[in-house]
Structures are given as C-alpha cells and as structure tokens.
Structure 1
Amino acid sequence: MFRTALRNVLAHKARLLMTVLAVMLGVAFVSGTLVFTNTISDAYQKSSAKGFGQVDVAIRPEGRKDAGDTIGKDPKLTQALLDKASKAPGAGSAIGVVNGFTAVAGKNGKLVGNGFQSQGGNYWGTEDPRYPLTSGHAPRGANEVAIDSRTAARAGYKVGDTVRLSVDGPVLTPTVAGVFTTDDGNVAAGGSLALFDTATAQRLFHRVGEFDEIDVKAAPGTSQTALRGALDQVVPKDVASTTTGRRLADDQATQIASAMSGMKTGLLVFAGIALFVGTFIIANTFTMLVAQRTKELALLRAVGASRRQVTRSVLVEAFFVGAVAAVTGLVAGIGIGAAMRSLMGTLGATVPDGPLVISPGTVATALLVGVLITMLAAWLPGRRAARIPPVAAMSSVHAQATTKSLVVRNALGALFAAAGVAVALYATTMSGSDGQAPMGLGAVLLIIGVFVLTPLLSRPLIAAAAPVLRIFGVSGKLARQNSVRNPRRTAATASALMIGLTLITGMTVMAGSLQKSIDKMASSAIKADYVVSMANGNSLSPDVAKTLSGLDGVTATSPLRNAPSRIDGETEYLTGVNGASIARLTDLKVDEGAFEVGGARVVVDKDTADSHHWKAGSGFTVAYEDGAKKRLTVAGVYEGNQMINGIILDAATLAPHQDDASDMQVMLKTSSGTSDATKARLEKALGDNPAIQVQDKKDISNGIAQMFTLLLNMLYGLLAMAVIVAVLGVINTLAMSVFERSQEIGMLRAIGLDRKGIKRMVRLESLVISLFGGVLGIGLGVFFGWAAGELVGSRMATYELVLPWARMALFLLLAATVGVLAALWPARRAARLNMLTAIKSE
C-alpha cells in the first residue's frame, strides 16, 4: 500500500501541483512571520543588552504609596542620594540620568527620528562612558547640544552647526558641540538622541535638582549582586528601589518579546486564514482525485485491502504532498522574513543590525503545520472512498449523496447559521469589550453554517444568473448546468473566496463607519478653528497657549490640561480649561444646568455624573495631585464623547496644585477663520516647529482617513494571500473538472461545439462560481460590519453605518476577475483535447 500511495503521488504530479502551492503559501506566511518577528525581537534584545553595558545597578524612584498612586508628592532622586550611592562599598562610579522627549529637526525642517523614539537626556561631565564622542566636545550650557552619529548622518549635521529642536513646544536653536555613538535601542531602531549638560537637561525636562535614575558602575572585583546589597543599605526604601543591570536587560528583553507578540499574533491570524482557505482546496483536490480513482481503489479492496489500508494510502499521499509543501514553504518563508525586514528599512523603520534568526521552533512549526493541515484535509475524502462497496465502484456506480445525508447536512447548516446570527445579535446588545467574545463566536458559527449550506444556496443563486448566461447560447447553458452538477464541489471552491471577501468587506464597512463617526464627532463637539498639539502625542508647554493667545487675530484660546485626583475614594482625571472661552470653542450638549466653568464651578459629563449620582447643583470634595482638598460644585451636566469628557474646571483653579503644568492640546478661534495663510501664520509664530501640528477640522478628518486607509491597505495586502489561495482553488477545481469531463467535452466537440465554445463554457463556469463566492462573502461581510458597528456604537453616540457601495462593487469585480483569470489554463486545456481520444476515455 505504501508503494501504491507513492506511485499515485508521482503519477499525478500536475494535478497535485496546485495543492502543493496552496499549502506552500500558507506555510510560507507562517514561517515568514516567525522568522521576521524572531529576527526583529533578537536584534532589539541584543541592542538593549548593549545599552545596559555601563549599568551594574540602577536606582529608580519607588513611586507613590497612597491609594490610587495618583495623589501626593513623588519621591525624589536628589544629588545627595547620588553622592551616597557613589560612596557605597563596591561602587566604582555613579551617574545621574535625566531623560525626556526631544524632537530634532533636520535641515529641511522636518522631524528626524520616529516620534516617540525621539529622545533627549543629559551628558555626564566631560567624558560620559555611555556615549563616546567621535568629534567635538561635551555640551556646556544652554546653547550647546550633542547628537548621536546616526542622526547627524541622516540630517547632515556636523560640529558647529546650529540645530533646531523642541522639548515640549518652543523651538530651541543650540549649537552642535559634539557627535557621539550609542548602543541605545531606540536610536538603533531609527530614533534620535540629543544630549544637554546635566543642569540644562534638568531644567528642560522639569527635573531641577533631580534625576530620573541613578546608574552605578561596580568597582573591579565587585559583582552586581554584591553592589546591589551595599546600595540597599544606603538607599531609603520609601524613596527608591535598586535593580541590577542584568535584570534590567532581561526585563527589557521580555518587554520587547511582549511587544513583538502582538505583531506576531496579528500576522499569524492572516496566515491561519490562508491555511484555512487552503484546507478547502486540499479537501476538494483529494475528493476529486479519489473519485477519479474509484475503480482503482475498488480493485485494491477486491484483492484484499481493508478500508483502513485504503484510507491510509490516501493519508500517505497527503503526507508526501504536505511534506513537500512544508519544506518549500519554509524556504519561501525564510525569504519572506528577510524581505519583510528589508521592507521595514525601505519604509523608514530602521531595525538594529543582526543575523536572520531561523529557530528550531520555526522549522518544526512549518513542517508540522504543512503536514498536519494536508493530512487532516485528506482524511475525510479517504474515509469516504474506503466506504464505497468494491462491486459498486468497479461497476462505476459512484456513491452519491443520499437524500438523508443532504437533509442532515442542510439541517446542521441551518442550525449553525441560526445560532451564529442569534449570538451575533445578542452581542450587539452588550457594551464594549463584553460583547467581543460573543461576537467572535457568532461570526465563527455563522461562517460554518453558511459553508455547510453553500451546496443548498448554490442552486438558487446560480439560477439567478441564468438570464445573463442565456446570452451566450449553448456555452452559457452548459456552464450553468456544470456549476450546479456537483453542488458540494462548487460550494467548497466558492467558500475559499467567500472567506477572504467576508473579512475584506467587514473590515471596510467598519473602517468607513468609524471614520465617518469620528468626523461627525469632531465637527459636532468642536467650534474651534484650530487645534494645536504635539505630533507624537506628548504634552505641550504652557508657553504655547500663551504665545497663541497673544497673536493678532486670535479671538479665543483654551488649553486642555489633564490632572489626576481622588473623589469618593476613586481616581478621576480633571481637565483644566480657560473657563472664560471654553464655551466658544466647544459645542457640547448640556442635559441639565449650564455650561459654566470658573472658580469652584465645574461641568461633568453624563457618565461621570451618573456614576457618582451627581446632578446640577451637587457638591463634592476633590483631592488634587498635591494632596490639597477643595469643595467643587457641579454647574452643569453635558454629553461627553471620546474627544471631550470627564470633569472640566478652570485651569486657574487647577494650576496651584500642579508642579509642572502641561497641556494635551490648545484650541483656538481666529477672526479670519480657517485658511492656508492663517495656518502658516500660526505655525510661524510657533517657530515652524516640526514637533507641533496645527490642525483644522479638515486636517483632523484627513489624519483619521489616512490612519484608516493605511490600516486597510495593510489588511488588504495580508488578505491578498487568502485570495491568491482561493484563485489556486478555482484553477484546481476547473482543471480536475475538465479532466473528469474529458469524454463529455469530446462528445460536445464531436456534435459541433467549437473550441471557442468550449473555452467560453469553462470560463463562464469559473465566473459563475467565483461570483457566487463573491456575493456570499460581501453579504456576510456587510452583516459582520453592521453587527460589530452596533457593538462599537454602544460607546460612540455619533456612530452610523456607512456602506461603501463603490468598494463593494470593486470587490465583486475582483471576484469576477478571479474567475476569469482562474479559467485561462483549464479552458485552454479543455479546448485542446483531442475529441476522439476524449470520447474513448473512461
């Protein structure tokens, strides 16, 4: 039986090629994802480990100890503590570390580095061992800065040049005093690092007289553990904690692995989808191969082979096919992983240097996935073939599906589909994350149900295309009949395309609806002409609001300033605004009371008011972040949204209780309204700072659209794998169908149907099957998009369903294109059959 199975594999090389390709693509995606994420993770981990080379023990603030960790004074790392640490037994040297966001502009005025990876810090003394200088000298005073060599090379800076940079808003123009090298992981990943002298860094990062961390280097002969023990004796437990450099490197490696796991999971999901779609093709292929060898298998049964041996022979075939596909998929996956890494560099996302990582786990996973998927998909066709009685099979009486089996199948499909719809509808009545699990379960049940029902659905849906097919005469009529001749095969072929289009359509509906809803929220909640914020989401200096309010033509400004507080034992965030102008800059619906902010009078969003049982006129006591308490009064209750919500009070009331005030954003209104000239004037007043963005409502909308477009394009690219696999499935099904119907095609040629007619028949059959899958996929995608939208809408008052008709028409056109392209080779093959040879074939 083993030799028979091996012979069958070698005898049907052409027929099994598409199956190998389908499995190979899925395996390549899985192995490529693992190679890519492992390579990136390993490079970051090694880079971060180098970054801790000068740290044997780090001293860090212990953090606040009161309830909620939001109120009261932070413990401080002072110069006195640094002096103590440097004199501890076993300590060789100690460095005080100050760091924070610093945006460096290139000579073209654009931001160098990647947003949050644009960092700043302090250069310790005249020779900082962390940052060896390659040219120049250590920065001295407020007008000098040192920058890393990668940033200097990218931006074209050298010692003596003037560089434009920003810490929290205002533009600084120091001179480049020195250029240094660093093993910092952020710089290796494409970020930038700017260093000031310690006093300047403390002032810029609001740490005057303080440090963010103290790094201690051990004296020769002292271990990290021994040094940590000595430091624990001199560092107050309620002020700071100590950690060894080895532990810091391990923790950062764990964080990097955790961060990469999200990307890995997302990519593997799409690889799983491709494999899932490929499973249909494999099952379809083996079903047809087994059906074509019914007499052969029956003969094996007649000469003594048992059912198990027949099933086993099919599984052995599947094993060889899966093994070949897995090995080629692994090789292709290694290439994909390398290409993805190079692509990141092309897109500007620099990755630390390091070798391509091909772990034993990746190899094992690729081989296991390829072989198991193929064997599982082939098991059912093999088992079905073994159950055909030898006499019936040898007499060409094929075991057709009985009425009972079809009734059972349709009943099960209807049950699954109904359960899926019911669970999905139930999930829409839930709120937020509570409904995610039921929604996912409903989606799986519904897809399974529709897949089981596709043979039943194929007849009426394909029959609907009959009027159009009649235009093509005999070829069209034959195409329709061929499409419904074997509903199970048609269903399995169409289902592969259906799944891909379901996901694409559902995501497109969701993205379009969310974009529209956020646009609506922005236009309905904000009356301001412009919103000013940091491009990376960091806080703005209060100086930005002062600069804007003093400009000619600016009629109203207000910062939005966040601060933690404690109310009734719970943490609540306060939003400080300009009480005199906030009503002119926002348009929030007031449910009760009045929108009045000033002194002790505040306004509260409805959700917060309900949670505390407040109404207009209610009073409550707030504990500010410095521990001070004050009685406030609710002047009004408004309807909040994702952009503006919570407790809003006057910034003047909040300011005395903040050590370092900073703004999330600044809203402003101008006498001239929005225009390119006004925007340019505002940007110039802020120093043409690359780290600050000035946006009107249109800019906000375009930013949202760009984000969704980028996300969708990435998803389309990933889901293209599933569509490619689906194309292979259609080609495979048609090619085998042509082989199966050789005698019939020969008869058609003999009675007068020419080669063009044969080609047209096969192409129309492919087109009908593809459009059938496309219609099902788009219909399911719209339902899932609507259901998921209802779930999101429970937390977004402005949510409304948007059906992207143009894109759905494009998806249907894509399905039709798949059908036309997939039919090219099978149609050509059918037309070139020798009619006499075909008629004599069995």
Structure 2
Amino acid sequence: MLKATLRSFLAHKGRLLLSALAVVLSVAFVAGSLIFSDTVTRTFDRLFASTSADVTVQPRNDLDSQIPTGATATVPASLAERLAKVDGVAATHVDAAVENATVVDSENESVGPTTGAPTIVTNWEVTERSAVELTSGREPKGGGEALLDADTAKKKHVSIGDTLTVQAQPGSFPVRIVGIATFTTTNPGAALVFLDTPTAQTKLLGSAESATSISVDAAPGVSDAQLKQRITTELGANPYDLQTSEEQAKSAAAQLGGFLDVIKYVMLGFAGIAVLVGVFLIVNTFSMLIAQRTRELGLLRALGADRRQVRRSVLTEALLLGLVGSTVGLAAGIGLALGLIKLMTAFGMNLKSTEMVLGWATPVSSYAVGVGVTFVAAYLPARRAAGVSPMAALADAEVAGVGRPLRIRAVVGAIVGAVGVAALAGCAASSTTSTAASLLGLGVVLTLIATVIAGPLLVRPVIRVLGGAFPALFGSVGRMSQRNALRNPRRTGATAAALMVGLALVGGMSVASASMTKSFDQQIDKTLGADFVIQNSNFVPFSQELTDEVRGTEGIGLVVRLRLATLAVRLPDGERIETAAAAYDPRLDDVAQVTYAQGNSAAALGDGRIGMDAKFAKEHEVRVGSTIPVEFPAGRKTELTVGALTDQGAAEGFGMRGGLFFGFGTVEKYLPNGQDSVLYVNAAPGTSADQLRSNLEKALEPYPQVQVLDQADYKDLIHDQIAVLLYLVYALLGLAIVIAVLGVVNTLALSVVERTREIGLLRAIGLARRQLRRMIRLESVVIAVFGAVLGLALGMVWGVCVQQVLALQGMKAFAVPWATIIAVVVGSAVVGIVAALLPALRASRMNVLAAIAHE
C-alpha cells in the first residue's frame, strides 16, 4: 500500500500543485511573521541592553495612557550630585531628552523621519554604553551648536556647517551642525540631534535645574540590583521610578512590542485567510481526485485492501503534500522575512539580514500549520475513499456518496445558522459595547460556518437565477455551462466558498467603514463651528510659540485651544478608569456646537469643574453636582465637580472614554508645561475665509508639522485614517482572491479531466473549439459570481451588526457603499474569466478521438 500510495502521489503531482501553493502561502506568512518579529525583538533587546545605564532614575508615572500631551516630566538635575555620593556609584549623568520637538532646515522642511519614528533632541553625553560615536566634526559647545546622526544627515542632505531650527516646547532656536554622529548599533529609525548638556536643559526643558532622568553607573563588583537598593534607601519615600538596566530594556522592549504586534498580527491575519481558503481548495481537490480514481480504489479493495488501508493511503498523500508545501513555504517565509527586513531598512530601521533569527518555534509552527491543514482538509475525502466498494472496479462510477442527499447538511447548517443569527440579533439589541462585540464575534463565526455548510443547498436556486440569461444570450453553450455548474452542488459550493470568505470580509468592513465615515461627517457638520482647525495630522501637540504665531496672524478673530491630559478618575460605582480628557478655552461654544443634556459650557469649564458624556455618567452613577476624585501624572490629585453632561455620544470613538473635558485653568494647574493639540480659529469681521487661510499658511510656513484645515479638509483627514483599515482588508481580499483563483483553476482543470470523454463527444457532434472555451468560461463566471453574491450578502449582514456596535459609541449613521459592492461583483466575473483561461485552452486542444476513447 505504501508503494501504491507513493506512485499515486507522484502520478497526480501536477493536479496537486495548486493545492500545494495554498499551503505554501499560508506557511510563508506564518514563518515570515515569526522570523521577522524574532529578528527585530532580538536586535532591539541587544540595543536596549547595551545602552541602558546600570540604574536609571526617572519621573514616576502611575498612568498607562499613551495619549500625547506635550508635557515633559522631569526630575531635579541636582539629584545627580546627590546620587554620586551613594556607596557603589561610579558615575552619574544628567539626561535631557525630548521627543516632542520638531527640527527643520533652512527651507522649513522637517528633517525628522516620515515613518512615525520620533525626532529625539538630547544632550551629548558619551559613555562606553552610548549608541552613537562622533565620526566627523567636533562636539557641540554652547547654545548655537549641535550634532546630527549620520543616517538623518544622509537622507535629508544636511552637512557640517548647515543651520537647523529646533522647535521645542519653550520656544524655537537655531543650531549650526558642527559634527556627525554614527550609530554603533541598530538605528531604530529615529532622527537624533545632540546639544551640550546646559543648552539641552535650558532650551528643551526650560530650566538648567531640570533633567528628564539621571543615569547611574555601578562601581566594579556592585550589581545593578544592589545599586538600585542603595539608591532607594538613600531617596527613601520618593516620587521617582528606579529601573535597572534589565528592567529598562524590558520596558523599552514592551513599548516596541506594540509596533511589532501590529506587523505580526497583520501577517498572521494573511496566514489565517490563506489557511481558511486553502482548506476549501484542498477538500475540493482530494474529493475530485478520489471521484476520478473510483475504479482504481475499487481495484485496491478487490485485491484485498481494507477500508482503513485506503483511508490511510489518501491521508498519506495529504501528509506528503503538507510536508512538501510546508518545506517550500518555510523557504518562502525566510524570503518574505528578508524582504521585510530590507523594507524596514529602506524606511530607516537598519536591521541586518545577517542577524536573521530562525528560532525552533518557526519551523515547528510552519510544519504544524502546513501538515495540519492538509491532513484535516483531506480527512473527509479520505473517509469517502474508504467507502468505495470493490464492485466499483467493474463500473465507471463516481465515488459512493458524492450524489447523496444534502439533508444532513441542511439540518446542521440550519442549526448552526440559527444560533449564529440569534447571536447577531443579540448584538443588534444589546445596549453595552462589550456584550455587543462578543455576540458579534460569535455570530460572525457561526454564520460563516453555516453558510459554508449550507452552500451546496443554495447552488441550484441561486445559479439558476444568475445563469438564467445564459441560454438566451449564448444558446446551447450557455445552457450547458449552467448545467455543468449545477451538476455537483458540493463541488460548486466548495469552489465558491473560497471566494466567499474574502468577499464576506470585504462586504462587512466596507459597510462598517462607510458607516463610520458618514457618522464622522455628520458629527463634524453638527459640531464643528470654526472656520479652520489647526493641528498635526497625527494629533501630536505643538509648542506655545506656534499658538502665539496664530494669534498674531492678520485677520484672526478668535482662537480656542484644545489641550489633552491623561488622568484617572474614581467613579461613584467604585470603578477607576484611566483615560484622556480635553481642556478648552472658555469660548468653546463659539467654535463648536456642543449639545448638553444638563448644564452648559460655562458650568463645565469653570475652575474645579468637569463635564462628561451623559451616557457614560448614567452607566457609572454620576450626576451633575457629583464630586469625582481625579489623579493626574506625577501623583497630582484633586477633586472636580461635575458641572455639565453632554449628548455628543462620539467622544469614545476618538479614544477619550467618557468624553471628559474641563477648562484650561484646571489643566495648567495640574499638568503644567503641556502643549496645545488643536487650535480652532474664526476669522475677524471683514476678513474672508480664503484670505485668512492664505495668511495662516504664510505665517505657519516655518512649522511644517501642522496643517490648516477647513471643514472639508478635516473630513478628508478622517476619511484617510479610516481608509488605512480598509486598505488592509483589501489586501486580505487580494490574497483570498489569489487562492480562490487557484481553487477555480484547480476545480476546472480536474473537471476537464473528469469530463474528457464527454468533451470528446461534444466535439465529435460539432461543438467548435471556441464554443467549448466559452462554455468553460461561462461555467467559471457563474461559480465566481455565486461566491461573490453569497459572500457580499453575508458581509452586509455583518456590516449592519458592526454598525450597531459603532452606534453604541455614538456613530449612528448607516451607509452601504453600493459602488464598491457592484465593483466587487463585476470583479468576481472577471476573476472567473481569468481562472478559466488555462483549463478552457487545455480542453479545446484535446484530440477528439483520444478523448472519446479515454477511460
């Protein structure tokens, strides 16, 4: 049996090739994501471990929120002298580094990275742990000199002697580049500007008495843990956070982990789609191969092979397919990881391909995925193969069971579908976001499974409608193509399911994104009353200097500032919530149309007052007049009285849970030295909007990081951010379509082999080659469109439920992107035509007499 199995596998290797490609794709994405993330993790672990001080003393922050406020937390610089006297301390260094500065060249172009990495302006303090070394020029001396890292200098064409402008929180100042520093280890992609320490303290932090942290080096023979304990004893009860080199490295790696997780989960998402769609392809392939080998299997049974041996033979073929696909996929995954490393290098993160990490988990995961998928997918066809009777050797019949009734599928599909529909209905009726989201996830999974199970039941009614016009348009060729698609509902359903999965995802996310876009548009139309909004595209704060520049612009009538603050609130129901709040100038109502359920802006923006979303307040037993304990960074605590409740409802959609807001007096008292995130601007009487825009753009030329946006521009900005998610979904769709095309090609190719004698007879009685090719193309088109219709219908149901979840966050508008839906259906027809090209060409080239004689 083993010899027969190996010969069978080699005999059908061409037919198994497309199934193997699905395995290769899924394994490649799994292996590539693991190799890339392991490589980046190890690279940065080495960087952080080699550059962190033995002990770092920095400001304590008990809040985990990452919302940028622009405020720089500091410690007293005099702490360095005090710690230098601690037993076991070899040296201390003052650190003065900020990431909220912008650096521009003489053309007012930013020299910072465009990849999202920060621009770091820091003091030049060289130690044996430094990540950079001076490679040309000299060290900076005095307030007008600076160093620049070599990578940024090369990319931005900056040379020694050039002048840059640093826009820091206290104000802007020019520096002349007097040297170039080169990384001795991995460049994380940031742009680095180095100043001498006194200049960094005064120009970046606003005081020569401040530092962002104190680095402490241990004397020989003193461990990091011992040194940390001694410093803790010296400082006693203190507001500082102490971290050893190892703890500092872990903390930095954890922050980097968010970036790595995005890449890893995106790639694993691609792998998941490849696996899911590949399962349908493999099931279809093995089912058709077994149907074509009915006589062969019957002969094996007649010669003495029992059911278990036949089943084992088919599963062994699947195992071989999985091993080959996994091996090729692992190699492709290494290539994919190498490509990602090169891509990151092009974006400024200088990873070395020679340091690629191939851990034991990568090949284990790769083979587990590849072999597991093929083994599971081939199990049902293998069971059918085991059921072939020895009498099948005497007849030209398909495998027993292929034409059996679909009653079991109908029952199982109905039960699973009913539970899935109930979950989606519960999602639509739920009044809490967490419950609705959980029911949505359950409903999506169950309805997808139910549709796959019941798909063959829908083949005949749906394809009769979709192909109803074929006989009238294409005559007998059209009638035969429709009947071919109806001949085996299981096969047609499995082939279409591969395309259905991707299109269901696209349909659902398209409806969700269109609804989000419409909701934000309505919210902007409803609430934004300012002529212009000035902000960064990524919402990063800017300096007071820029705010002053806007206020001094000709034609300005009113400027209302928005500043963000991180905080924690203790609510009456006992829950402690960390979130972000917005602080506004008193004349908020002149630039925004806020709807209040209770109170007004004056009551919310006054000293000691706070406003919040009415729904959030009701959930947590808060009323107007309630006193809420509030904790700001650096341990600053106070109590604020609820002065107003709003009916806006969409605040949480912006990542600000509870829609908390208060006046500028509060934020400046408890979060000093913060920076403005948004300016709402109205024109003065007699100044047109166009004229004010021109004046603002001219005044803000030195500040390339900010944008001047009117209402239409602001909508476009929101649309672009939503589109990023949609582009990812389209990429997943592209992968699903590639594998679905493989599935249609495989099905048609095997179907052509299966119908060789039939095709020969058709050709013998007068069917032209062109008519034969058209028949196969029409069959492919109707199968692809069937999958598209099924997927889009399911996806739109999901989209409606996603919109209900969004409505709980205040995004209540509903929209269906009909243009996208129609384009997808038309595209599916094109996919069907493309997938049929090779099978149709092969069928038309058959020798008529050989085809008629085919067994």
Q: TM-score under structure 1 normalisation?
A: 0.91
1:110 corresponds in structure 2 to 109
What is residue 288 of structure 2 aligned with on the other side? 288
- Number of the residue aligned with 1:92: 90
Q: Which has the higher mean CA deviation after the structures are superposed, 283-292 or 221-230?
A: 221-230
Partner SS for 2:557: strand
Tell me how far apart the structure 2 counterparts of residues 661 and 496 of structure 1 sit (CA, whole Å): 52
For 2:584, the aligned partner's letter is V
Secondary structure at the aligned position of 2:161 is classed as: coil
Deviation at 1:707, TM superposition (A): 2.3
Shift of 1:785: 1.3
Which moves more between the two structures, 405-414 or 559-568?
559-568
Give 1:472 shift.
0.6
Counterpart selection for 1:718 from 706, 724, 732: 732
Give the match for residue 648 of structure 2: 639
Deviates most, 230-239 or 209-218: 230-239
Output one character per residue of 1:725-745: Cα deviation in whole Å (capped at 9) or x when no partner.
Answer: 111111111111111111111
Q: Secondary structure at the match of 2:468?
A: helix
Q: Does 1:760 align with 2:774?
A: yes
Map of 1:828 onto structure 2: 841
Give the whole-Å Cα distance in 2 for the aligned partners of 1:50 and 1:19: 47
Q: Does the 8 A contact of 2:97 with 2:121 survive in 1?
A: yes
Question: CA separation in 2, counterparts of 1:403 and 1:324?
Answer: 32
| 1:613-650 CA-partner distances (Å, limit 9, x unpaired) | 6666x474776858686875736755353269745444
Kindly report which structure 2 residues correspond to 1:188-199, keeping only aligned pairs within 5 A, or say none.
188-199=187-198
Q: Name the amino acid aligned to 1:263.
A: I
Partner amino acid for 2:252? Q
Contact 1:127 1:138 survives alignment (8 Å): no
Written as runs of structure 1 = structure 2, the 5 A alignment for 1:562-711 is 562-563=564-565, 564=567, 575-579=582-586, 581-596=587-602, 599-600=606-607, 604-607=612-615, 609-610=617-618, 618=625, 620=627, 634=643, 637-642=646-651, 646-652=659-665, 655-671=668-684, 678-686=692-700, 688-711=702-725
The gaps in structure 2 that reach 5 residues or longer are 64-70
The verdict on how the C-alpha distance between 1:811 and 1:525 changes in structure 2, with shifts beyond 3 A counting, is same
SS in 2 for 1:467: coil
Contact 2:510 2:817 in 1 (8 A): yes
2: distance between equivalents of 1:612 and 1:713?
37
What is the match of residue 791 of structure 1? Answer: 805
User: Residues of 1 paired with 2:97 and 2:271: CA distance?
Assistant: 40
* Contact 1:596 1:603 survives alignment (8 Å): no
8 A contact 1:206–1:660 mirrored in 2 = no
Segment drifting more, 155-164 vs 736-745: 155-164
Q: 1:800 to 1:258 in 2, by over 3 A?
A: closer
Q: Which residue of 1 aligns with 2:417?
A: 417
CA distance in 1, matches of 2:29, 2:667: 53
* Aligned mates of 2:129, 2:46 — CA distance in 1: 22
- Using the alignment, how far apart are the partners of 1:589 and 1:406 within structure 2? 57
Q: In the alignment, what sits opposite 1:742? A: 756
Conserved 8 A contact 2:456-2:492: yes
Q: Tell me the amino acid that sits aligned with residue 727 of structure 2.
A: N
The answer for the alignment partner of 1:463 in structure 2 is: 464
2:504 aligned to which of 502, 505, 512: 502
Contact 1:99 1:122 in 2 (8 A): yes
Identity of aligned residues (%): 34
Q: Secondary structure at the match of 2:534?
A: strand
Deviation of 1:524 (Å): 1.5
Q: Distance in 1 between matches of 2:222 and 2:626?
A: 60
Paired residue secondary structure (2:553): coil
Q: Determine if contact 1:171/1:689 at 8 Å carries over to the other structure.
A: no
Q: Is the CA contact 1:270–1:719 (under 8 Å) kept in the aligned structure 2?
A: no
1:105–1:165: 8 Å Cα contact kept in structure 2? yes
CA RMSD of aligned residues (A): 3.1
> Letter of the aligned partner of 2:510 in structure 1?
T
Q: Secondary structure at the match of 1:667?
A: strand
* Aligned-partner residue type, residue 763 of structure 2: R
The answer (yes or no) to whether the contact 1:622–1:629 under 8 Å persists in 2 is yes
**Does the 8 A contact of 1:605 with 1:637 survive in 2?**
yes
**Cα drift, residue 150 of structure 1:** 1.8
Per-residue CA deviation, residues 254-313 of structure 1 (Å, 9 max, x unaligned), is: 554464234212311221111111111111111111111111111111221111000011
**Aligned partners of 2:127, 2:465: CA distance in 1, in Å?**
82
Q: Structure 1 CA distance, aligned partners of 2:140 and 2:260?
A: 36
Contact 1:285 1:732 (8 Å CA) reproduced? yes
Is the Cα contact below 8 Å between 1:35 and 1:358 reproduced in 2? Answer: yes
Deviation at 1:126, TM superposition (A): 12
Aligned to 1:173: 174
Question: In 1, distance between residues paired with 2:8 and 2:44?
Answer: 48
Shift of 1:226: 4.3
Secondary structure of the residue aligned to 2:349 is coil
Give the Å deviation of 1:802: 1.7
Structure 1 contact 121–195 (Cα < 8 Å) conserved: yes
What is the Cα deviation at residue 506 of structure 1?
A: 1.7
Change in 2 beyond 3 A, CA 1:665/1:142? farther
Gaps of 5+ in 1: 66-72
- CA 1:802–1:351 in structure 2 vs 1: closer, same or farther (change >3 Å)? farther
Aligned match of 2:164? 163
505-514 or 309-318, larger mean C-alpha shift: 505-514
Deviates more, 1:650-659 or 1:141-150: 650-659
Deviates more, 1:113-122 or 1:786-795: 113-122
Letter in 1 for 2:558: A
Q: Quick check: 1:48–1:184 contact (8 Å CA) kept in 2?
A: no
The DSSP-based 3-state class of the residue aligned with 2:799 is helix
Aligned residues between the structures? 827
Q: Partner letter of residue 513 of structure 2?
A: A
In structure 2, the partner of 1:69 is none
1:80 maps to which residue? 78
Specify the alignment match of 1:512 in structure 2.
Answer: 514
The answer on whether the counterparts of 1:323 and 1:371 sit within 8 Å (CA) in structure 2 is yes
- The alpha-carbon distance between structure 1 residues 258 and 537, as it changes in their structure 2 partners (threshold 3 A), is closer
For 1:23 and 1:128, how far apart are their aligned partners in 2?
46
Structure 2: how far apart are the matches of 1:128 and 1:154?
A: 26
CA separation of 1:624 and 1:482: change in aligned 2, threshold 3 A: closer
Query: Residues 511, 673 of structure 1: CA spacing in aligned structure 2 closer, same or farther, 3 A cutoff?
Result: farther
Q: Mean alpha-carbon deviation: is it higher for 413-422 or for 531-540?
A: 531-540
Task: Report if aligned partners of 1:575, 1:647 keep a CA contact under 8 Å in 2.
Answer: yes
Shift of residue 401, structure 1, vs aligned partner: 4.2
Shift of 1:768: 0.8
After superposition, what is the alpha-carbon deviation per residue over 1:526-565, rounded to whole angstroms, capped at 9, x for unaligned? 1111222345433333443333233331111111234447
**In 2, are the aligned partners of 1:742 and 1:838 still within 8 Å (CA)?**
yes
SS at match of 1:174: strand
Question: What's the secondary structure of 2:456's corresponding residue?
Answer: helix
Task: List per-residue Cα deviations over 1:668-700 (Å, max 9, x = no partner).
Answer: 111377756533422433452123333222222
DSSP 3-state at the match of 1:189: coil
> CA separation of 1:673/1:19 partners in 2, compared to 1, >3 Å: closer, same or farther?
farther
1:364 maps to which residue? Answer: 364
Q: Cα deviations across residues 125-157 of structure 1 (Å, max 9, x unaligned)?
A: 999966532334433444333322222222222
1-side partners of 2:73 and 2:725: how far apart? 42
Q: Is the 8 A contact 2:387 2:400 kept in 1?
A: no
Deviation, 1:251, is 4.2
